[in-house]
Structure 1
C-alpha cells in the first residue's frame, strides 16, 4: 500500500541535496507488494524524486520505486525515537484516518516531505493512484469497496475505472467467506451447501495463477459432507495444504510454532484455534484460516476472483474432482435421536446476546440456517453445535474486533488419523473414527474387517482399527488360538493384520473329501491374574479351504507318544533339491516324479529317530479303503515299483521318499489319497535304519517307542 509505506518507516536522521542517497532501514523493514526490504534508495532527476527499494532509479531497470514531484530537490529524513506511547497512538490514528485499509499499529516511522498529485503513473513498474490509499501495479486491477469500482493500471501506465463484476454486492463490512460443515457463505452473504465429497475451487485469481481449493468428505453419515482440508495452489512453487489436526503440508509435513514462517510467499502461523495463511493477491492482503471444521477467507480489498466464495451457487463450475465417484449421492436412514425443536433453539442463540452485539455488522441468518440444516440431519456430536458458534464468533472478531468466548473441547487428533478416518468422540475420548462410506462396506455385513485371504498353506486376516475402537475393542488384547500370535497394526492405514500358516498359531486342519480346511480364530487375551476386565470378549472364527485340490501342500498333526509331544508335517516338491513346493493349484502330470518330505518338530534327534514304516495310496479318503497300492512296506520301497526311492529313513527326525505320479486304473479321474504311518525309534543300543537289500531285505529289530503310530495323509487329483 502506498500511504502506509510512506509513513511507516524508520531511518537515521539525514538531510542532504545529493542526487542519490542510500539508507539502511533494517531496524524497521518494510513490506512492499509482498516483498520485504531493508534498504531505501533515493534518486533525484530534476523534476521528480524516486524512493526505490531494490536499487537506484534507472529508466532501464525494473526496480520498484515510488515517484513523487521534486519541488526543492531535497528530502528530509527523520528518525523518531519517541518512547511516549501516546505519540504512537496519535500517529496510528492519523494514518488510519487517511488510509482506511490500514489495520496494524505504528511502531516506528520515517518522515520525508513531498507533494502528491491525484494520479501519478511510473512508466515502468509502479502505477500510483490516490484512491482509497492504494497503489496499483501496471497490468493489475484493484477494487474499491466504497462504490464497487475497479481501478485498472494498464501495462502502459494508463489508469481507468470500471464497475465491479463478480463481487458487485460486496460491502466494506462483508469481505469474509465462511465454509463450515457443508455450507459456503460467500462474500455477498449468500449461502449454498455442498452435497457430495468432491474438491472445489473456493477462490481463483487467474492473473496471479493462485487457486484456493477445499476438499469435502463425509464423517459419521454418508449423506452429509464436511470441509476436510484446504489447499493453496500456485502456478509455480509447492502447494500448501491445511489439514485436520492443525497440520500443514508443503511437499512434506511442516512444524509450525507461534512464530510466523514463510513458504512460497505465504506467511503461515498457528495458535490453539487453528492455522492461518496470509498472502497477497495483486497487492490485496488475503487471510485464510482453517481449524479442521471451518475455513474462513478474508480479503482486504476483493479482486476479480471466481469460485464458491465469489458465488456459492457456482458448484458445477467450481467442482475440480475428475473422479465422478465423489458425486455419488447416498441417503442414510433419518437419525431419530435428533430433536428438531432443540436444534432451532441451539442455532438461534446466534441472534441473541452476546452475539447480538455483532448482528448489525455480520448477518447471523446464513450461519443460523447452516447450523439448522446440518444439525437437522447430523447428530450434535464431535463439537458440531459449537462449530457454527465459533464460525460466527470468528467472523465477528475478524470484521469488528469483538471477541466472543466459545470455549469448548474441540476434538484434536494431531496427525493420528488416516485418510479413511476423522477426528471425533469415541466413548468419551477423542480418537480417530471411521468415515461412513469406508465403514459401510464392513458394517453392512456385520464385519470388523475384510475376508480371510488364503494362499497355499498360509492365510491372513485384516481388521479395521477404527471399527475396533468404535466397538470398544483394544487391538492389543487380541490374538489367535495361540496367544503368542498377535496382529500387526499398520501405523499409516491403522489396519490390524494377522498372518498364520496351517502349522502355526494353533491352526486346526482337517480333510473333507477333496477339500483341505484349516481354521483359526481371533480371540481376546484373558489373563487369570486380572481381577477385572473392561474388554468385551471377542471371537472371530475364520477358515481357509481348497476345493478341487490337485495336490495338497502339506498337513500337520500333533502327536503324543509317551512323554514325547511333537508335530508332524508332510510336504510335496517337484524337484530333488526340495525347493519347488507344490501347492493346491500346482499341475502335476501322470508319471511325473515328486518328492515327499516327512518332517517332525519337537523331537530330540540325539535320542530318537523317525521311521516311515509304510506308505500307501487309496482311492478313498479312509486309510483302510480299497483299492490300495503300497509304496513303502516295512520301511522299504516297494520293490515292484522301480520309481520309489526312500531317503534317510530312520536316520533322524525327518525322512523323504520319491515316486512317479499315478492314478487308479478303471476309474473315472478322482482323488488319490496318500497315507503314511510312522514310528519313533529309540537310538540307544541299536540302529533305527530298516534293512532293505533287494529281494533279501528283512526288517531289523527296531526299538519302537511305545504309543500309537503316527498316521498322516495327503490327497491329489490326477
Structure 2
C-alpha cells in the first residue's frame, strides 16, 4: 500500500486511500497507521478509519483493513505486477517498465490504463495547450506536447496522430513529438496562401473512450498548428570589405519559418565564374546577377524580383539612383538590362552592362527587392510586354525582402 500521496481518481475510485505514515519494520510488530483519502486537490481531504499493519519475513506486509469512511473511496495498492507462468520458469512483467516515465513523472493507473502522471511538485506550463512547443524550418515543422499533461487529460500517446493517421508521434524525454516535412513525410500537411503569408498547417488529433459495454465516454482532441512565413525586412551591407556576395538571413519568432536570400554577381551567364573580393569592372562590360532563395520548398515557392537599382553609395535609399528592373521588367531607359529568369523558381537572374555615375563617384552599389510567390496556375512568372507594361501583380505574395551588393569599382 502506498505511503505517499495518491491523487484523486486513481486506483479505480474517486478518493483513493493511502497510508499516512511509514511502514513498520520487522521488529516493530503490529502498528496502527492513519489512512488519508485524496480529494479536491487535498491529499488528506478525507481521514478514514485507522488500520493495522505488520511487516513479515520475505519483505511483504499484512494489513487489517476496515470499511472506508466514505463509499466513493477504496484502498490503493502499489503498482501491481503480473506473474506469467511458463514451464519450467516464472517471468514477472512490470506494467510500468515500458512506459519509461521521466524524473518529472510517475507511473499510475487511470480508468484501467497505466500511464505517466506529472509530478505534483513540478509546474504545469500552458496546460490549455499541453505545454506545446513548435519549431519551423523551411518546409518542415515539429510540434511536441507534454506526455503527462496529455495522459491526465485522458489521452494516451498511442491514440494521437497528425492529419494522416499513419503519422504518429514519438516519445522523447517525456514529450510526444510530431514531425512533418514537405519532401517525403507530408502527413496531410496543407499549404495555403492569404496574400501576405504562405502557411503550412496540420492537426494533432485522436480520440479516447474511458468506458465500455453499451455506454461510451468518448472525447476527441484537435490541436491545430502552423508554420507561417512572413515579415518584411530591408537589409543593406554596411561594409565595403569583400562586398560581392550578400546574404539576408530572416529569423522569425517561434512557430514561424526561416529562409535566406543571396545575391551574387557573375562574369558569365552560366553562373560558373562569380566575382570575388574587390574587382575592377570595365565600363560597358556585361555583368550577370543571380538572386537565390534557400530554405523554402522549391516545388511550391518561387522568387520574384520586383525591382533592382544602383546607387553611388552604400544606401539603398540614396537620392541618386539608377533603375535596372522596374515592376519586374527591365527599365526601358536602359536597353542593356535583360531579365533572364524571374518568378519561375527560387532563382532569379538578370544582366546589365557596367556603368559609372557622373561626378566623383568611383563605386556602384546594387540593391534588389524580391518577394516569394506560391506557384499555382503559373501566376508567378513576370510578363513583360512591348513598352515594358506588366500585368497586375499576383495576390499570392507571401514575403518581401530587399538585398544589396557592392561596391563595383568601375574602370574606363
Query: What interval of TM-score do these two structures reach, taking the shorter chain for normalisation?
Result: 0.3 to 0.5
Higher alpha-carbon Rg: 1
Which structure shows the bigger proportion of residues in strand conformation? 2
The TM-score with structure 2 as length reference comes to: 0.46
* TM-score in terms of structure 1 length: 0.29
When you count helix as a share of all residues, which structure comes out higher?
1
Higher relative contact order (Cα pairs below 8 Å, separated by 6+ residues): 2
